[in-house]
Amino acid sequence: MAKSWLARVGPDLSLAIRIATVYFFFAIISIELFRLGNGIAVIWFANAIGVAALSRLPFQRWACPLVMLALSIILANWLMGSSVASALFFLPGNLVEVTLGAYLVRQQRRDAGYFYNQFSMLKLIWLGVLLPVMAGAFVSAMLSSLDGRMPVLNVVMHWLEGSAIGGVSVLPAAYWVSVHGLAGLKRQLTQAYLPALLIVALAVATLVPLLLPFPFIYMSIPLFYIAYHSGVAGTVLANLLVAVNICILISLGYLLPPPTIYSWGYTLFYLPIMATLIPPLMLAIAMDMGRSAAQALHQSERRYRSLYQHTPAMLYSCDLEGRILTVNEVWLKAMGFSQNEVLGEMADKFMSHESAQQFVNQIIPQLLQYGACQNIRQQLINKQGSAVDVLMTAAQEMDEAGRTGRLLMVLLDISDKVRAQHLAYHDALTQLPNRLLFTDRLEQACQNNSRTEGKFAVVFLDLDHFKEINDSLGHEIGDLLLIEVAQRLEGAVRSSDTISRLGGDEFVMLLGGLCPGEEADQMAEKIRSVIASPYLLNGYPVHISASIGLAYFPRDGLDGHALMRAADEAMYCSKRAGRNCFMNSHC
């Protein structure tokens, strides 16, 4: 049990000794430089050390440091010539000041937040210095009234001026070190120019009282420069050094208050010290805030730029006329252009004709009217002239006045998806719709024309003796022949009609608006004649014909299966009739 108690108390005792040692050091400096009658130190630095150290510890760990601080107060006063009774006289006020200040500062739970803005710094000074100093002065005044050794007013005035100025001088620096540690202090001292600036500040604070009137004004000049150049970290260190230097000058008689007949007259002499230290500290916080804001803005811009450049989507922005303002690397890589070739150009320059018309006449007006558009199919043309299929989502960016500033475009490259869909529904050799796509369109045609009482024809076509050509001239010529037949069929019918290769040498067509009669016969003859025209494939003259069968909706069937069967039967009628001809269903 004793070992566990030692294990628990040991770290607290070690920390308490370190805190008490620093406190004792500053107490000795204060007493040595500014000791008045009865051991009152005019500018008392030590309590700020206690406030800064305790405020960083949990409340349950305060007991040991407070005991060690009490011993430091008694020991410092006793070593500097005060009696133990006199030292005990100042103990309650100092402990109240340290405890209250640490409690109030810790309750805010700000840590480094005290250095983020001027109001927070003033709050640190108010909670950690001014309020505790008033409480400590009150306690000491009460003891003095009971003891009767010193006038109460003198005790209050000396306590207020000494602890307030000492706290303002030391607490910002002590609290900064307690937050950032000695490693942070070392980093600041190795910062470029800061040691030299601190030396300049000390030199100015030393020389101006000897050479110039109103010395506090001149002392603040290097402090303001340090605040501008080095921010809070440099300023709290400079303030501490300058304050100690002022104490040394006063103790040596180089900086003396003017004669006064009033007991509070000396207080007016010490007020300029606070006026010298606080404004540079406020400037330093403002400078750090500005630097932090600028750095945050820079990082935000860098993250935005990185996100813009490296997002997997193709991004670009343009003005209200469609002129490209920015473009990311993904867009440039997909399109094969350099940035210089793109910026300032009209966005529709890089689109297919249909997409360009859609962009100018539909997308931009929609963006300006509604502010956004989503999932619009577009086709871009890259530097090599190939199509890049994309899905566009766009929005308008508003300026501070609420006006449209620019248009932001996000493009998802769906070329692979489009190609995969194309391969799933098209013949790989001829690029015509395959059986799956043709069947779907045929069923849709049946449903639509059933409602509208429309008519259409299904044309089944089989090449005559294709196998013999394929065997004699080779598969390469056979493939070229199939491709040429597909192209001739596309040229013979309307663009709204559907032509499909079912496989091998079989083709089927869906011709809208045709019904049995002269027009259908003329179309069938046109197809037969186009196929029968001579071919020249890789230097080989090739001749081939086709047997064609026609079926009509609704006469020969009301669904795709019935119409395909009827057209197939009509095609076999053509075969039996000698080939190179066409037959209607029910031959």
The residue ranges of every structural domain in the chain are 1-168, 191-297, 311-420, 426-584
pLDDT recorded at residue 582 = 94
- CA dihedral 231→236→237→241, nearest 10 degrees, is 130
The stretches of 493-581 forming alpha helices (DSSP H) are 518-532, 560-576
Residue ranges in the chain modelled with pLDDT below 50: 1-7, 37-41
pLDDT recorded at residue 40 = 40
Give 347's DSSP letter.
Answer: G
Residues 6+ apart with CB under 8 A from 471: none
pLDDT recorded at residue 1 = 44
pLDDT recorded at residue 587 = 59
pLDDT recorded at residue 350 = 94
Q: pLDDT tens digits for 373-405?
A: 888 999 999 999 999 999 998 888 877 666 777
Rounded Cα–Cα distance for residues 520 and 332 (Å): 51
Rounded Cα–Cα distance for residues 344 and 322 (Å): 9
- CA 16, distance to chain mean position in Å, is 44
Are the CB atoms for 94 and 140 separated by under 8 Å?
no
pLDDT recorded at residue 6 = 42
Rounded Cα–Cα distance for residues 505 and 372 (Å): 49
pLDDT recorded at residue 150 = 65
Are the CB atoms for 161 and 129 separated by under 8 Å?
no
pLDDT recorded at residue 345 = 92
Q: Which residue has the tokens 């006020």?
A: 93
Residues forming a β-bridge with 506: 462, 503
Q: Which CATH superfamily is domain 426-584 in?
A: Reverse transcriptase/Diguanylate cyclase domain (3.30.70.270)
Fold of 311-420: Beta-Lactamase (3.30.450)
Rounded Cα–Cα distance for residues 238 and 200 (Å): 10
Residue 498 phi/psi, 5-degree rounding, is -115, 130
